[in-house]
Amino acid sequence: MTWWTKALKSLISSEEGERLDIFRVFPGTRRFLAARHHYAYLRTAGDILFILVVVSGLFGPRDPGRNVAVFLTWGLLWPSIVLSWFFLGRMWCGICPFPGLGVFLQRKGWTLNLPVPRFLKKYGVYTSVFLLALIIWTEIVAGLDKSPLETSYLVLSIVAGSAILAVFFPGQAWCRHLCPLGRITGAAATLSITEFRPDHNKCRGCETFACKSGIDGNRGCPVYLGAYNVQNNLHCLVCGHCLPACDRDSPQLLIRNPYSELVRNKGRYITCSYIVPFLIGSQLARFLRSKPIYAQVESLSGFPDALAFSLLLVICFLMVMGIIRIGTHLFGITEDPMFGKFSPLVPIMIPLAFTGELVYRMGYFAHGIGNFIPTIGRQIGLDIFVKLAFVIPDFPVQILSAFFMLNGALAGCYIFWRFCLEDFEGLIPFRNFIGINLLIVLLLLFYLGVIF
């Protein structure tokens, strides 16, 4: 079997053993990730972009039509990260510039190296989801995606949070427990076609656990995992720190069926249980806010925009929670003697949730890319660039969005069908099977209604 046929088989097979190891087929990939200076180059590029956004936002024009900071952040960087979820998992987190200041302070010895407190480990997930909700709400209500200055403040606040935790705790405690962007990226990475996993046969007998603690001057895992502990895509940053530390050649970068992790874990991830319903609800609310009916209702009610959008956000969130509750009732099984309680509708809706975020960010990109070069020209005083402006029509973007959302709905149906054919075979009545599929279709129709 050739490497590419095995790669295709890895993508479509539901068998755990049928996965292509990229490190074995392309050894240069492993060498690249293991060489820390290569990551340094990538992080330097990210740092330059980060500095450009901050400096331009703080000291450049306040008009978003004359300042590239807004589109660089919301139109290029964030959509690129969202797109990377489906292919690279959390690899973006490995080169993220946000923890850079904290890492610098730690290398200078300006850290207390306190043990991470239990409350942070226990309640960090709730805090990070709240911070994510706050960012999305503020983005819309305060117009962050139209304000260079406030965009810079948001970026600097995340850097400050990461640096403060780095002063108190070792490694990247912010990335592991509190980062809202890392939290949504980890949840989305459960859909990735790649996964970073150990070969446990090679890990047997290891007594150093150098992949976690580090060895010979090489840093260990910055989020306290180590390759041998990686069981899912939620927390591993794919940062490569464990590669030079492991003398057993255990780490693997595998191509897989993108839905295998969701099928295997059946909604046991608490991160996804909170993020998914909020994300879907917020997307429906964000799409609706751009429609004429929102302005009409806002005008009739007399509510300020902040209150009107907040109410819309709550209504959409409760609607999604209602769909999940109905679907869970139809599923009829929420606890298993082997792995405890689970939420079966959450993994079914994950493809729609993160495809919806991709579609929303793609719309922002499509509306702004035609004015990007002219904005650069206006900011640096070269008005000749203004002639390069162009407009992407709404209709092809809407058609592409509908195609993506249809694929998200089909993926949700596929995951549900896998449940019915494997672990829960014969346990779900046919009418309930039809009912859950109709709920997926209903959610798809909601998306199409607000997109068009």
Whole-model pTM: value is 0.92
C-alpha distances in angstroms, 357 versus 10, 20, 22, 279, 364? 26, 29, 28, 8, 11
Domains in the chain, number: 2
What is the structure's pLDDT at 55?
94
Give a yes or no: residue 51 inside a domain. Answer: yes
359 with 446, same domain: the answer is: yes
> Are the beta carbons of 212 and 224 closer than 8 angstroms?
yes
| Predicted pLDDT of residue 369 | 94
**Among the three residues 203, 238, 258, which one is the final residue of a domain in this structure?**
258
Strands (E), 286-369: 335-336, 340-341
Structure tokens belonging to residue 65: 């039509």
Instruction: Report d(CA 102, CA 172) in Å as an integer.
Output: 8
How much is the pLDDT for 289? 93
Backbone torsions φ then ψ of 360, nearest 5 degrees: -65, -45
In a domain, 180, yes or no: yes
Q: Which two tokens stand for residue 148?
A: 């260079």
Residue 1 lies in a domain: no
Residue 374 lies in a domain: yes
Nearest to 166 by CA among 116, 200, 232: 116
What letters, b where the CB count within 10 A reaches 16 and e where it falls short, cover 26-53? eeeebeebbeeeebeeebeebeeebeeb
Q: On the CB side of 224, how many CA atoms lie within 13 Å of its CA?
A: 12
Instruction: Give me the count of residues in the chain.
Output: 452
- The residue type of 159 is V
Q: Which domain holds residue 421?
A: 268-451
Provide the 3-class DSSP secondary structure of residue 62: coil
Distances (CA, A) of 207 to 201, 202, 212, 213: 14, 12, 12, 12
| DSSP bridge pairs for 253 | 196
Tokens for 84, please give them: 């990377």
Asked whether residue 382 is assigned to any structural domain, the reply reads yes
Phi/psi at 20 (5° precision): -85, 130
Q: Is 247 helix (H, G, I), strand (E, B) or coil?
A: coil
> Who's near 390: CB < 8 A, 6+ residues apart?
370
Same domain, 92 and 201: yes
Say whether both 136 and 214 belong to one domain.
Answer: yes
Among 239, 258, 277, which residue terminates a domain? 258
Q: Looking at 258, 276, 291, which one is the last position of a domain?
A: 258
Cα 211 to Cα 213: distance, rounded to the nearest angstrom: 6
111 φ/ψ sector (left φ>0, alpha ψ -120 to 50, else beta): beta
107 and 202 housed in the same domain:
yes
> What is the C-alpha end-to-end distance of the chain, expressed in Å?
45
- What whole-number distance in Å separates Cα of residue 173 and Cα of residue 103? 11
pLDDT tens digits for the chain (452 residues)?
788 898 888 888 877 777 899 999 999 999 988 887 887 888 888 888 889 999 999 999 999 999 999 999 999 999 999 999 999 999 999 889 899 899 999 989 999 989 999 999 889 989 999 999 999 999 999 889 899 999 999 999 999 999 999 999 998 999 999 999 999 999 999 999 999 999 999 999 888 899 998 888 778 899 989 999 999 998 999 988 899 989 899 999 999 999 999 998 877 777 778 889 999 999 999 999 989 999 898 888 889 989 999 999 999 999 999 999 999 899 987 766 665 677 889 999 999 999 999 999 999 999 999 999 999 999 988 888 888 999 999 999 999 999 999 999 999 999 999 999 988 888 899 999 999 999 999 999 999 999 88
Residue 263 lies in a domain: no
Q: Are 129 and 215 in a shared domain? A: yes
Helix (H) or strand (E) holding 194: strand 194-197
Structure tokens at 280: 């879907």
Give the separation between CA 228 and CA 217, rounded to whole angstroms.
20
CA angle 280, 258, 172 (to 5 degrees): 75
| Residues 223 and 272 both lie in one domain | no
The one-letter code for the residue type at 113 is: N
239 and 320 in a single domain? The answer is: no
Q: Both 399 and 295 in a single domain?
A: yes
Distance CA 301, CA 259 (A): 44
272 and 204 in a common domain? no
Q: Examine the domain organization and report whether 183 and 274 are in the same domain.
A: no
pLDDT for residue 373: 93
* Residue 377 near residue 423 (C-beta atoms within 8 A): no
Is position 371 within any domain? yes
Do 250 and 272 sit in the same domain of this protein? no
Instruction: Name the maximum alpha-carbon separation found in the chain.
Output: 70
Residue 2 covered by a domain: no
Same domain, 76 and 188: yes
